[in-house]
Structures are given as structure tokens and as C-alpha cells.
Chain A
Amino acid sequence: MTGLEQLLGRAEELYRDLRFTAVSEWKKRNGGLAIGFMPVYVPRELLHAMGVLPVGVMGAGDDLEIIRGDAYYQSYICHLPRSTIELGLNGALDSLDGMLFPATCDVIRNLSGMWKMQFPEKYSHYLDVPQDFDANVGGQFYRRELEEIAEELHRRGARKLEPAALRKSIAAYNENRALVEGLYSLRIEEPWRVPTHELYLLLRAGNVLPVEEHTVMLRDYRAAVLADEDRRSMDQARVLLAGSFCEQPPLGLLRTLERAGCYIVDDDFVQVHRWITGDVRADGADPLADLVLAYLKQGIASPIRYIDEQVKGQALVERVERSGAEGVIFCAPSFCDPALLDQPMAVAAIERAGIPWTSFKYAENTGQFQVIREQAGTFADSIKLWSE
């Protein structure tokens, strides 16, 4: 087995491991707290600085049979929370000492309360990130919010939050983010080198691995694909996949899209890795303030953020241009309010820019891809037949 295969095998294993063994092993080795977090964004730097392992929980994909989760959710609510509850109930999350529920949507918000009722002994907190991006208003509020979390975690056994440690953590995540971004850029240049289903697995690995280990993995992957002579360009359409920022599509869906003739050159997967653009200042006197400021000023445009005074969708058009995509596929989870409510505005912007697009919905456990294959295939056909 080549090193690349081994690395991808490891990433896939982490992705398929619904019992989060990597986390319990980390705890055995390091003895710190592990705190789960739901999509989309939490300040992992803060947790890291306190010796806490941040663990991204993104539902359970298509491997878990939902037995009790459906007892908590009606059919018209997305799939993610029910698989998360299922994981909680079947003990898969026992290694976590708590959960953070960032302000993403009403479903995750309400899940935070359900968690409190279902698992009263565990720490669970709704992280209310501000929608006011003024440093003196929203910024102050967010800072107090983070301080409270830090205090609470400290009470529960985490190291005290120290500026020096925080600065180091910020630096560690800056490095990690830059590597992720580097792979995204490489995929834009040579999409056959970085197939999306691989890149995706790497992102998911970052949900459970400590950042240092993940950074090594990213670096090794990059070196391996650059050296791989067998990867060659094919006649495929370049598309940007938008809308999958919370509940994640099953791996089969990504493979289906690639097989139906699409190169995915930009996407919204596991956004916690890309939420902050550029580096967070790592050498400031008040690193917590720098972290807050990065959230306020360096965040990407996303359906779950209020976009003040900008034309909605403009950011997407810019991404299309940056990534050289020939079209946009809106690929959102069924019943995902933020994604689906945003879509008409994004579509309007895309159409104004003359960019072709198509859309479909999925659930993390969708098992049939015929319809999606037809749609994506047609979309790729139409781009390909008329290219040049």
C-alpha cells in the first residue's frame, strides 16, 4: 500500500468511526477534556489553548440506522439533529465532556436545550455568536460569551485560559488553515490531483484529530498527490458546490458527482476549517480580542450570517470567478432553512452574472443517487458539449 493510500485509509477510517475512538484514545493519552461542537463555527483556538480537544460532530452520515433519533424529530426537519441525538443515545459521544451548539439555525438552537434535558450531567452550551459586527457592540458581547465559556470549562477541569497559550493555539490553527486553503488552491489549479472525495475526508479528519496531527496529515497528503504521476486530467466540467455547510452529503454523492463528469473546484464542506479567511493575529497583546475581531471582520459570507449592506450573493459570484468554476450546483440538505432561504438570492446574483447553475437536495443518508446523477450529468454535459 502506498503512503497516500494509507493516509486516505486512515482518514476514511476516522470518518466512518461513529464511536469516535480517536477521541477516547486522545483522552487516554492526554487526559484533557474533549468538547464536541456542531457546525458551523466555534473558536477552536480557545478550546485548544485550555488543553481541550475540540471535536466536530457532523451527524452520522449514511452508516447509522436511525432507531430512536426519529422519535425526536418530525419528518420535515433535516436529518442531522436526529442522527446526532442517535449518537448521543447510543453512547457514541460518551467520550465527550460537553457540547457547544453555535448559533446556526433554529434546529441546532433547540437541540441545545434538548441536550440539556437528555444529558443533564454533561456541559452543554448554546454559543450565541453575534450578528452585530461592530467591535464595540457585538464584539463586546462575543468576548463576554467566550470568557464565560472559558470560565465554565475551567471549572470543569480545563486549564485556565492564558494569553500566551492562546497565542500559540492561534498560530497552530493559522498554520492548519493555511494548509487547507493551500489544498483548495491546488484543487482549483489541478482538480484531478485533489479529488473532492479525498479532500473531504481530510477535512473530516480534522474534526477529530488534534490540530498538530491534522496539520501533518494535510502536509503529507499534499506532498503525496504532487508526486503521484498517475493522476491525470480528464474532460470534466468545473463546478462550485454551494449549500452543504452543515449537514454533510454522503460520500456516495460526491463520488456520483465526480463520476457524472464534474470537477468540484470549490465547496462549503466542514466550514469550520475555512470560516476565518487569512490568519488570526497571533502576536497581539490581547489574543482573545484578536480572536473576536477575526470572527467579526474576517468571516466568510455564509447563509447563517447576516450580511449587512452588501449585495447578497456577490460573494458567491466572486468565489466562482476565483475558482474558475463553469457553473454552480446548489446542493443543500432537505429542510435546511438557512441554505434554502438563501438560495433564491444567491441564484439571482449568479444569474445576473450569467453563470449556469442547477440545484438539488440531499440528506446525509440519501442512498439513491439516480436523480442527482441525471441532473449533474446533464449539467456537466451541457457545459462540456459546448466548451471551447
Chain B
Amino acid sequence: MSKQATPGNVATAALKDQSQERQKAMIAEHFRKLAEAPERGEKCVYTFVPGNLTELIDSFGLLPVLPEINALQSGMRGKSRDYIGLAEKLGHSEDVCTYVKCDIGMLKSGNVGPTGERLPNPDLLLLSYTGCFTFLKWFELLGQEYNAPVAMLHVPYQGDGVVTDSMRTYVVDQLKKKVIPALERISGRAYDEEALKERLARSAKAEEDLVWVLESAKRRPSPIDAYFGGVYYIGPIFTAFRGTQDAVLYYRELRAEIEGRIALGKGPVTPDGEIENERYRLVVEGPPNWTSFRKFWQMFAEEGAVVVASTYTKVGGVYDNGFRHDPNRPLETLADYCMGCYTNLNLPTRVQMLERYVREYSADGFLINSVKSCNSFSAGQLMILREVERRTGRPGGFIESDLVDPRYFSASNIKNRLESYFQMIEQKRAGGA
């Protein structure tokens, strides 16, 4: 595995916790399995992070590949500029989501994954289309590239802020009539509900610990950074591991470590050392930038700014409102999970969630990182900003960048805005006192 290949590595530069070692090993193992899959005759399913059906896929003995994660990793490894450039040369518009272009560029450059090993071609494209219309196009594109079958799972949007029976029935119907048969076809195995249930039970356990970890940020000082650090914590739940024993162990370990930090009254660990003086507590909305992830984090850490809650860490599932995978209603619970992911919530619900975070996590303010790529996140964020500001009375900040397109990360511009924002909070405090 190359040096900066995984998120795990960045964090361990400062402190090698056991949980991080475990995560690293899990990821390495997964990519090794993927690389070997063609030889060993193992089949793999490409699918998306929000609303991913990892437990179901795993119960068929199939391996998941998540193109979003590959794109993110390409961004972190400094490859995305070339990949995106290549895709644009091939006729993809400058205006559209760079995850897609990054993935297409990677595919056209030999499909070498984050660990330097070649990724297997998909045997099935599971288009679990949750929270983002771009997914649709993405897999239509991949479908043409690989000539692979596509299984469509249309996950209805919570347009009115609720999940209705009709919506649930629709998803379960599709699972039964479309998705499961497709998985059966390519795996050659029959659907095994018991196997699924076992995995769902393990998911619930891991989810319990994950929520505990994320909520530990309610303390002062917060022992974790729930955004920059948070993206590492959600890794195993997001990606290929939910429902595995590895994930259960990872979160148990992580929880123990955080408990240790709390006992010592310590703040979060960053790549540049520990934050000793928590000066600003922030809630962040929107995905981070991956191409300058470390620089981006630094801009916060240097100022003693700690993110105590973030919405991005909920795109792979919102658990802190009580939802857990329920082995007793296997398909229904999968449906509820899919429909409950953050980007599948309507804007009023997103505002409520942010408002709650600002209050429950005693934040000094909240900040939006608006990414050019993602309309699903970004369209409406300016209104979210004003609404949350109005409801909480805490100052909001707004910065713009992109997920993996380095052309849209202007360090000086972001720093300028962040500095002004922090100085504003500071001034407001001084004025208020």
C-alpha cells in the first residue's frame, strides 16, 4: 500500500491508535480481495455510498466497489486533476460533478485503485439511487463502458419530510422484484434471509458505538473532530464493512480510545498534532475538499477551531436520530435506511438537523463548505445558511470549494474567508461579553 493511500495514514502520522491500524488493515485487505477477485472467480458489485446495501451484497458473497470512495481517494492522492482533465478531454462538461469525471478518468487510465492495484470490472452495477440524480448518469455511463448489467433501485425522496408506507412498499417491492433477483443471478446463490439478518444485527451494534463516538463531541473540550476526523470514523460504516465483525471490533476499539481521551481531558488529534486549546466549536454542513484535505484541516486546527458536528458524516446513514438496522424487518429496515440518508432529507429537515446540532453541541457558529460538484448538497445551502442563522442566532460562514477538483480549491480565498469568519466570532464574543 502506498504511503498516503488511505485516510488512515494521514491521521496516524501523528498518533497510531489501534483502531486506525485496524481500519488500515481492513481497507488493505478489501482492496487485495478486489484485486484478486477476477482470478478467484469472485464477483463484484459497483454501488453508491448513500443507501448502500452492503449487508445484502455481502450476504450473497459479493464484493462491493464504491466509485465515490475511489474518486475521493484519487483526490487525496493528487490524481484527480489528471483524471478530471482526461474526462473533460473526452467531452465531459466542465460544469458537472467531478466525482463522475474523476471516476471516468481513472477508468480510462487503467482503473488502478487507491492501493495501486487494479480494480475488477463490475459484474453488476447496483444503482441504488439515493439522494442524487447524478448517480443515474454515472451508472448509465459505466454501463456503457463496461457493458455490465444495471439493477435500478429508485429510492423515493422525503419530499414532505416523512417516509410513508407507500414509499417503503415501493422500495421493498423493488428489492424483492429487481435487486434480489439480480444479485441471485450474478452470484448464483439464492437469497438467504438468515444471513442478511445476522449482518444487520452486527450493523446495529457498530452503529451504536459510532453514534456514541460522534456524540462525544458534545463535551468540552471535544475529544474528536467530527468532520475532518469524522470522515475517518465513518469509513468502515460507509464503505464495504457495515455488517462485518471487523466493523464491530473497529468501533468498539475506537470507542475505548475516545473514552481514554475524555478521561485525560484531551482535545482532538490532527495531522499536525493535538488541539490543546479549543477556541471555536463549529457545526459544518457540506462535504470536505479532498485534494487539499490536510491543508484545509490545518486552517481550522491552527485557529483552534474544532468541528463538533457535521452533516457530511451522515450521508452514509443518519443514526443519531435513533435509526438502527433492525434484523427483524430485514427488507423494510434496508428501505428505511436508504430513505433516511442525509441527502435524501428535504431542506426543512436538513435545517432542523443543523439547528439541533448547533444547540446540542453548543457550537459558536456553523459553517457551510459549498462544493461546486454537488447540487444535491449545494442547491439551497444559502437559504439553509440564513435559516439556521435566524433560528440559532449564531453566525454562519460560507466557503466554496470542490470535492476533488483542485482548480476550485483556492487556499488564499478560503483562508481569507475563514479568518474573517473566526475574527467575526471573536469580535461577537468580545462585543457580547
Contact = CB atoms under 8 A, between A and B. Distances in A.
Contacts of A125: 159-160
Interface residues of B, number: 52
Given A103-B157, A335-B95, A340-B96, A110 B375 contact: yes
A259 interface: no
A108 B339 CA distance: 18
Nearest to A134: B177
Contacts of B387: 117
Nearest to B104: A344
Contact of A132 (B138, B144, B159, B178): B178
A16 interface: no
A344 B90 contact: yes
A350 to B, nearest CB: 11
A277 to B, nearest CB: 21
Contact of B380 (A72, A140, A312, A343): A72
A348 B145 CA distance: 12
Contact of A72 (B129, B351, B382, B400): B382
B144 A113 contact: no
A116 B346 contact: yes
A116 B348 contact: yes
B245 interface: no
A306 interface: yes
Contacts of B167: 141
A328 to B, nearest CB: 14
Contact of B154 (A109, A111, A131): A131
Interface in A108-142: 109-114, 116-118, 125-128, 130-132, 134, 136-138, 140-141
Interface in B86-127: 90-93, 95-97, 100, 127
A332 B159 CA distance: 27
A288 B387 CA distance: 39
Given A114-B347, A128-B156, A128-B157, A106 B95 contact: no
B378 interface: yes
Given A77-B375, A140-B170, A344-B90, A338 B133 contact: yes
Nearest to A116: B348
A343 B154 contact: no
A110 B157 CA distance: 10
A132 B154 contact: yes
Interface string B136-169: 1110110010000010101011011000001101
Contacts of A304: 133
A73 interface: yes
Given A117-B387, A137-B178, A145-B166, A126 B159 contact: yes
B411 interface: no
B137 A338 contact: yes
B424 interface: no
B69 to A, nearest CB: 20
Interface in B258-309: none
A343 B174 CA distance: 29
A337 B166 contact: no
B95 A334 contact: yes
A42 interface: no
B379 A131 contact: no
B380 A337 contact: no
Given A71-B382, A114-B380, A128-B159, A312 B132 contact: no
A53 B351 CA distance: 32
Contacts of B347: 110, 112-114, 116-117
Contacts of B95: 76, 334-337, 340, 361
A321 to B, nearest CB: 21
A64 interface: no
A85 B326 CA distance: 41
A347 B91 contact: yes
B375 A106 contact: yes
Interface in A337-383: 337-338, 340-345, 347-348, 361
Contacts of B376: 106, 110
Contacts of B379: 73, 77, 81, 106-107, 110-111
Interface in A77-107: 77, 81, 101, 103-107
A74 B346 contact: no
B381 interface: yes
Nearest to A143: B166
B173 interface: yes
Nearest to B408: A76
B144 A131 contact: no
Nearest to B94: A340
B178 to A, nearest CB: 7
Given A131-B129, A341-B96, A113 B134 contact: no
Contact of A105 (B93, B346, B375): B375
A53 B92 CA distance: 40
A91 B152 CA distance: 41
Contacts of B90: 344
Nearest to A145: B166
A285 interface: no
A336 B97 CA distance: 11
A126 B346 contact: yes
B346 A137 contact: no
A244 to B, nearest CB: 15
Contacts of B134: 106, 337, 341
B136 A306 contact: yes
Most buried by A among B141, B170, B177, B382: B170
A228 interface: no
Contacts of A156: none
A141 B348 CA distance: 24
B404 to A, nearest CB: 15
Nearest to B370: A74
A173 to B, nearest CB: 25
B140 A312 contact: yes
Interface string A163-198: 000000000000000000000000000000000000
- Quick one: which of B141, B154, B167 has the most chain A CB within 10 A? B154
B190 interface: no
Contacts of B242: none
Contacts of A226: none
Interface string B181-210: 000000000000000000000000000000
Interface centre among B136, B154, B346, B379 (most CB of A within 10 A): B379
Query: Which of B134, B159, B177, B400 has the most chain A CB atoms inside 10 A of its CB?
Result: B159
A144 interface: yes
A308 interface: yes
A138 B351 contact: no
Given A77-B378, A107-B379, A306-B152, 16 more contacts: A76-B372, A81-B379, A112-B347, A113-B346, A113-B348, A113-B350, A114-B380, A116-B347, A127-B159, A130-B154, A306-B140, A337-B134, A337-B137, A341-B134, A341-B141, A344-B90
Top 10 closest pairs, chain A to chain B, by CB: A113-B347, A126-B159, A341-B137, A141-B170, A340-B93, A113-B346, A106-B375, A131-B154, A110-B380, A144-B166
28 contacts: A73-B379, A73-B382, A74-B370, A74-B378, A74-B382, A77-B378, A103-B157, A106-B375, A110-B347, A112-B159, A113-B159, A114-B347, A118-B383, A127-B159, A128-B156, A134-B178, A141-B167, A144-B166, A306-B140, A307-B140, A312-B144, A337-B137, A340-B96, A341-B100, A342-B137, A342-B140, A343-B91, A345-B140
